A and B are shown apart, each in its own frame.
Chain A
Amino acid sequence: MRARARALADVAVVLALAAYAIPFFWQLLTSFKPEAELLRVPPLLPSRLTLTHYQVVISQSLMPRALGNSLGIATLTTLVSLAAGVPAAYAVARLPLPGKRLLLLAIVASTAFPQIATVSPLYLLMRALELRDTWAGLVLVHASFALPLTIWLLAGFVREIPIEAEEAASVDGAGLVSMFRWVLIPLLAPGLASTALLTFLFSWNEFLFAYTFTVSEASRTIPVALALFPGVFEVPWGDIAAASMLASLPPVVIVIALQRFLVRGLVAGAVKE
């Protein structure tokens, strides 16, 4: 009897959270609804499902380019910020660094930096360096913005590694690079995954910088393309729904598949304060 009550409670929690996700499912349904039925509700359920909106989005708009840009920029951002972040995190966690306190303070302070505070100088900088509307420009900005959190998280993960491993490596006379390659990175792998995941999501979802620095299909990322979805007078709700599903597909898949690493990363970020 008690077991049944428990099972019922479990089902109730899942149902409540499914209800919480209704905005998402409603948009999912909308993306498959025939155009003529979009504004005729009720009935809530469509008479048939159609792929028209996806065909329109893939063939007629800039969405495929934007998906490619987002994928490329988010991946490069992740790589760049890990490449700079891993050694920095190691130094912060392990090495005697002059001015470490100042650096740590700067890192903590810049995690709180609002994007709006630097967008106007960065705009002038990007203009001067001719980096507007390039992948490189956005990757630099995203990576430097994500870097403080990357270092913060990784430094925490480095501290969890037993120090004997590195010492053994340095006794063997291994250089810094091979120590990273053969000792630190393998031991850090789960932490790297969590950090990479959060950086990737940040870059994929980021809007303010992307909106300002990408001006054409050469570099426009998917949130920007979605915000600027074209049309005149007419709002193409079905196409927008299809486009927003495409925009959320990669992050949603990644997050749900790699749930474990994500939760670990989020918690590490908060607990290591």
Chain B
Amino acid sequence: MTARLRRSAWPLVLTVWLLAFGGCAAGPERGPVTLVFKYARILGNADPLPELLRAFEAAHPGVRVKGEALPWASDDQHQFYVINLEGRSPGFDVMMLDCIWVPEFARAGWLLDLTSHLQPDELAPYFPSAVASATYGGRVWALPWNFNVGLLYYRADLLAKYGLRPPETYEELVEQVRRVRAGERDPALDGYVWQGKQYEGLVVNVLEAFWANGARLLAEDGTVFPEPARAADALRFLRGLIETGVSPAWTTAADEELSRRAFGDGHAIFLRNWPYAMDLFEGKGSAVRGKVAFAPLPGRARGEPGAGSTGGAHLGVSSRSRHPDLAMALARHLTSESAQRAIALGAALSPARQALYRDAELVRSHPAMPRLQALALAGRPRPVTPYYLLLSATVQPEFSAALVGVKPPERAIADAGTRLAYFLRAVR
């Protein structure tokens, strides 16, 4: 019995000894460390990420980085994070975040406060609105990674053929669609395609229509739909596009990809989409290569000028990461200028750093970059609030109902308002 005790005591003594001495001999980040990075697979054949991760490993001996893919829809990614982060240590250190989630995740305590880790002017090179969406309660919670803004793509060849300039208002756009289609006599040619499927993309498209019409989803004081009549009018206008055939009936099932393909196959005159699409239109074998240009999203006649919604991804560090300094270093490495350049070159994601829009190498391969910067600067963010997902999830089916015509726009707005009031009463 005593022999057994003595034998089993040895490891214990050893452990105590190691803990006592190991603790002062080396920092906490000794030995092989694995960092887990959660990100959405990047579009394009030359995925630059594996190489970027290997470069980080080379610069940090003893550190291994494991990239893990997220689901592909933004709503699914959010659900993944919510279930994974709520009340437990997640199995990852660095995470890609849709910019709309930062306030929610920060408030829930899931993100590491990066403010004290940052150099004084470290965020200066980024788009101010990207930094704003990574900030909540005066603290910085994420590093901007890529930046998106809603654009109006148009068939430059078709517009030129009919002596038209890119439309400044939606009314002009409708008129141009009529003229081009009357001239082309091609039944397969649709007018204006955008994203009307019931998902986050629909909220973006409707918000852009709201803004052009002087309506908002959320006022500064927290009022929901402060301009209900204008909001309903914007929804009615979108519904009208479908009813009059300016937009095809399948718009109500269209996401970015479906609409991008229709336009890319040469079956549409106008398209609302993100900057990534330009690369695919200019790719080898594209049916519209050299025929596409983009402009700011139109406004409404007697309304406000148009503004594209901003979007994009940030990199945050889990507040429960066991290696916060290394995780921060990885986030910093992936958002560095050279990494963002590599991503912009290899994949089609536009950078969050402004200097890259005038970078000689990038402009050579993407001549539209400087113009894109101006549009990105003029973009407008979706409401910045911890309750954004609650807002979006609640309004999605109502907006969708108005678009497909099963609910009058006024009632859709009123119903969404009632539901939001009930849910928000619980959290305020």
Contact = CB atoms under 8 A, between A and B. Distances in A.
Given a CB threshold of 8 Å, the question of whether A touches B is answered with: yes
Interface of A: 39, 61-62, 127, 130, 132-133, 212, 215-218, 228-235
Contacts of B276: 233
5 contacts: A215-B83, A228-B71, A230-B69, A230-B72, A233-B276
B40 interface: yes
Listed residue (B69, B257, B260) with the most chain A CB atoms within 10 angstroms of its CB = B69
A231 B71 CA distance: 7
B80 A228 contact: yes
A233 B260 contact: yes
A218 B43 contact: no
Interface of B: 40-43, 68-72, 76, 80, 83-84, 86-88, 90-92, 255-257, 260-261, 276
Contacts of A216: 68, 84, 91-92
Main SS class of interface, B: loop
A212 B276 CA distance: 32
A62 B69 contact: yes
A217 B90 CA distance: 12
A228 B43 CA distance: 16
Contacts of B255: 233
Contacts of A132: 83, 88
A59 B83 CA distance: 27
Contact of A61 (B40, B42, B69, B88): B69
A218 B91 contact: yes
A212 B83 contact: yes
Given A130-B88, A229-B72, A230-B41, 11 more contacts: A127-B88, A215-B84, A216-B84, A228-B71, A228-B76, A228-B80, A232-B72, A233-B255, A233-B257, A234-B43, A235-B72
A231 B91 contact: no
Given A130-B88, A132-B88, A230 B43 contact: no
Main SS class of interface, A: loop
B385 to A, nearest CB: 25
Nearest to B285: A36
Nearest 8 CB-CB pairs, A to B? A228-B71, A230-B69, A231-B72, A215-B84, A233-B257, A230-B41, A233-B256, A232-B43
Contact of B40 (A212, A218, A232): A232
B323 to A, nearest CB: 18
B69 A234 contact: no
Contacts of A230: 40-41, 69-72
A230 B96 CA distance: 14
Contacts of A62: 69
Contacts of A235: 72, 257
Contacts of B68: 216-217
A196 B91 CA distance: 33
Nearest to B255: A233
A42 to B, nearest CB: 16
Contacts of B80: 215, 228
A39 B261 contact: yes
A63 B84 CA distance: 20
Listed residue (A212, A217, A233, A234) with the most chain B CB atoms within 10 angstroms of its CB = A233
Contacts of A232: 40-43, 72
Given A127-B87, A212-B83, A217-B68, A231 B76 contact: no
A234 B70 contact: no
Contacts of B40: 230, 232
A234 B84 CA distance: 25
Listed residue (A61, A127, A229, A232) with the most chain B CB atoms within 10 angstroms of its CB = A232
Nearest to B69: A230
A133 B91 contact: yes
Nearest to B71: A228
A150 to B, nearest CB: 29
A216 B93 CA distance: 13
A61 B70 CA distance: 11
A165 to B, nearest CB: 47
Nearest to A214: B83
A144 B71 CA distance: 29
B261 A231 contact: no
Nearest to B41: A230
Contacts of B83: 132, 212, 215
Contacts of A127: 86-88
